[in-house]
Structure 1
Amino acid sequence: MKRKDLIAGSLIVVLLIVVLLLVVGGFFVKTRVAVSENRLAANITKAVQNKDGALFLRQFSKDTQGIKFSDIGAQSVVKDLHDNATDPTSEIGKIITDGRTVVGTKVNYRFAVERKKVLGLFDSYYLTTRKSPVTVTDYTGDGDDMTITMTSGGRNQTVTQRQLRSGLFPGRYDFDISSGGEDDGSYWVHAAGGGDTIDLTVTAD
């Protein structure tokens, strides 16, 4: 075999390998990295059926996942959807990706579906929502030394008013609040994802 034939044959083999890698890589990206609307809906439904807040949260954009306490909110959302929705659980993912409101929940959650390109070729779908700022108004008359403890999820974690004003992911959040050295009781807020400011009013017993 002539040297030219060997080189041509080698080039053909290399090109076939490159094409094969591109096809396999493209298939992997399309099926494993890019998220279709149907797959997004299926992931949401699975999260609700299993009350899996972590899986539900992974369906959102990275910025949304990074919202402070979003894991607490996501867990409460899937619990609410699972326990209280009057729509069939098996259809909740499709309802949300269609932009409709799930019926029967404590609040009307607002989620939106957005699309991005993966490798400039494949459409990938994900959820977004809006943060709900929380302002705390103290009517106890005990001064400004208010201590706010988030008790959701058994955390017992002190939070600041600044953190609350920065906005919460949709869901229910429970707090124990004390002011002026006195226990002012337990409070809660339920964010829906519409971006509206929630006023948490602390009053004396």
Structure 2
Amino acid sequence: MMNAKTKSIITVGIVAILILVGSFFLIKTRVAVSQNRLANNITRAVQNKDGKLFLKQFSKDNQNIKFSEIGAQSVVKDLHDNATDPTSEIGKIITDGRSVAGTKADYSFTVETKKVMGFFTSYYLTTRKSPVRVTNYTGYGDDMTIKMTSGGKNQTVTKSELSSGLFPGRYDFEVTSGGEDDGSYWVRPAGDGDTIDLTVTDY
């Protein structure tokens, strides 16, 4: 017959094992992202046009690219509105390393893996940011203001911010030079890392 001390030790041991098993299961299902879960997250983001969820599937470095939330939102909108592949298959297509048909750009996304807690393989997306090189042919030199109008932000951006690179997606601009409106411009990086030329001309 066990005494109270032995029972207490056994109880503590059982609780400790349950905590370990629970933690193991939690890490495997919640922290580590399987390839299927990654595909499902992408599909759900596209179906709901949820740019924030889509952006969360990328590496932290990609998420921290300036204006990435604007690009991610435009990508899911493009995938949702223009893809000729079934929306329900888009996540699987991307995680298989294939291109989604019918979109405005041939987006370049790569599936990478990392180890979580040294045991579990977690899948995520990466992409390359594209520098935007602004060329000013208005005759006003540096007297030029570029406002990013995408996503209702209407914020002034600098040439150096654009040259540091943009996340894939569409970005719209209004450019003013010499006090006059030079019109609307846009760029659509695809994630291939290629430099994009934004040529501003006087009407």
- Aligned AA (2:100): V
Identity fraction in percent? 73
d(CA) in 2 for partners of 1:24 and 1:129? 34
Q: CA RMSD in A?
A: 1.3
TM-score (norm 1): 0.95
- Aligned AA (2:15): I
- Aligned AA (2:139): G
Alignment of 1:1-205 (within 5 A): 6-205=4-203
1:60 CA drift (Å): 0.8
d(CA) in 2 for partners of 1:156 and 1:184? 16
String of CA shifts for 1:119-161, please: whole Å, max 9, x gaps: 1111111111000000100011122111000000111100001
Provide structure 2 residue ranges, at least 5 long, that are not aligned to the other structure: none
d(CA) in 2 for partners of 1:24 and 1:142? 65
String of CA shifts for 1:19-52, please: whole Å, max 9, x gaps: 1100011111111111110000000000001111
d(CA) in 1 for partners of 2:47 and 2:4? 59
Contact 1:144 1:180 in 2 (8 A): no
Which has the larger displacement, 9-18 or 59-68? 9-18
TM-score (norm 2): 0.96
- Aligned AA (1:116): K
d(CA) in 2 for partners of 1:39 and 1:143? 50
1:12 CA drift (Å): 2.7
1:11 CA drift (Å): 2.9
- Aligned AA (2:180): E
Count of aligned positions:
203
Which has the larger displacement, 189-198 or 138-147? 138-147
- Aligned AA (1:49): Q
Contact 1:148 1:160 in 2 (8 A): yes
